[in-house]
Amino acid sequence: MTAAQGLARYETTLAGLERKGRRRTLVAQAGADFSSNDYLAFAGSARLAAAIASALERGVPAGAGGSRLLRGNHPEHEALEAEAAAFFGTGRVLYFGSGYAANTALFSTLPQRGDLIVYDALVHASVHEGIQASRAQAVAAAHNDVEAFAQAIEHWRSTGGTGHPWIAVESLYSMDGDRAPLTELAALAEKHGGFLVIDEAHATGVFGPDGRGFAAGLENRAHVIVLHTCGKALGVSGALLGASAVLCDYLVNRARGFIYSTAPSPLMAAAVREALRMLVDEPQRRADFDALRSFANAELTTKLGISSSGSQILPVLIGDNGRAVRVAARMRAEGFDIRAIRPPTVPEGTARLRIAITLNVDHATITHMFSRLAVIMAEEKP
């Protein structure tokens, strides 16, 4: 077989994706921001830039140079983890290079053979990745249905399950913008001697006291594990995994993704420290964001007749992949950076525009965007 023949199978797959309206391409950012997760506009803030410049001046390196277990364990990592543990009120924190890496490490390492992972049907892809590498049994539960989680655990017990159940959810779902019933799920996990893993990716920074997320008040419980990503509302990169000291120590000793990866940038660790301080020092950002989010939810309903999620994530369901792509492309051409989300990221038949509200736009821009979107959707018929 020639190299050209070897490449043909990939070309065939790409052509198939093209026919289904599912081929992905890289599109540069341009126009008003309605697609990023930079909810509080931290990413381009002067204060974060100054903090990074200051860290460089005092000798903090851009790269770690090795894994945390070798020479890559920089004082900035340890300072961030200590400050984050105090900020979120958890036993210990580990800093990972991304939320994807953290979820993969967590689920491939902590649940043991004989355990059960019950995950929300709409949970992040990174959780699925970790589950695939896990030795535990896994089963999906209907989205945000506490009874479905309970039934899955009870069925497992009735058929001989003797380990510990793990419940995996997002506190605020990235594609639908709705909240998980965390209090009820925490009680369920405790009742069955299990653990609750909460991915706070889209709640960290914008919800809870000082932006501590929806899990604030639960993180001091030994059976609750919480992931806070740093690349969304915090405006930088990486992820903070908070858990009991013993679970974090176990990850340091057993999580291959932690052991064998070069440590995250110490410079980014310094930036995350500053971002956490900004949450406390600049409450007006969250107040402004709350007002903007409420306004955008109202505009969505008024202009498009769509029920809103109540959060900063506003899905506009379209269904057809091709129509979603066309509408998004026309909106970008008019200066609104909106992207189409298609399967397999979302279930079949639920292609959508995922509109994200951030402090990078204002009220007038939101009104204009929804007005134009209503017109374009009417013109781009199914």
Q: Which of 202, 265, 297, 311 is labelled catalytic?
A: 202
Q: Which amino acid is at 288?
A: D
Q: Which of 174, 265, 297, 309 is labelled catalytic?
A: 174
Q: CA-CA distance, 208 to 210, in Å (whole number)?
A: 6
Residue with tokens 């599912």: 22
Active-site residue 299, yes or no?
no
Query: Which residues, including other chains, have CB under 8 Å from residue 371's CB and lie 6 or more apart?
Result: 303
Asked, as a colleague might, if the bond just before 344 is cis with ω within 30 of 0, I would say yes
Q: Which of 81, 115, 199, 337 is labelled catalytic?
A: 199
DSSP-derived secondary structure for 176-237: T-PBP-HHHHHHHHHHTT-EEEEE-TTTTTTSSGGG--TTTTTTTSTTEEEEEESSSTTSS-
Q: Which of 232, 274, 309, 321 is labelled catalytic?
A: 232
Q: CA-CA distance, 301 to 323, in Å (whole number)?
A: 21
Active-site residue 303, yes or no?
no
Q: CA-CA distance, 382 to 324, in Å (whole number)?
A: 9
Q: Which of 35, 37, 265, 308 is labelled catalytic?
A: 37
Alpha carbon dihedral 216, 218, 222, 223, in 10-degree steps, equals: -120
Q: Which of 45, 103, 120, 124 is labelled catalytic?
A: 124
Active-site residue 199, yes or no?
yes
Q: In sequence order, what are the beta bridge partners of 241?
A: 94, 227
Q: Which of 38, 115, 120, 170 is labelled catalytic?
A: 170
DSSP-derived secondary structure for 44-77: T-HHHHHHHHHHHHTT--S---SBTTTTT--HHH
* 3-class secondary structure, 319: strand
Active-site residue 174, yes or no?
yes
* CA R_g for the chain: 22
The two tokens of residue 78 are 């340890």
Active-site residue 170, yes or no?
yes
Quick one: which of 275, 304, 308 has its CA closest to 294? 308
Q: CA-CA distance, 374 to 347, in Å (whole number)?
A: 24
Active site residues: 37, 124, 170, 174, 199, 202, 232
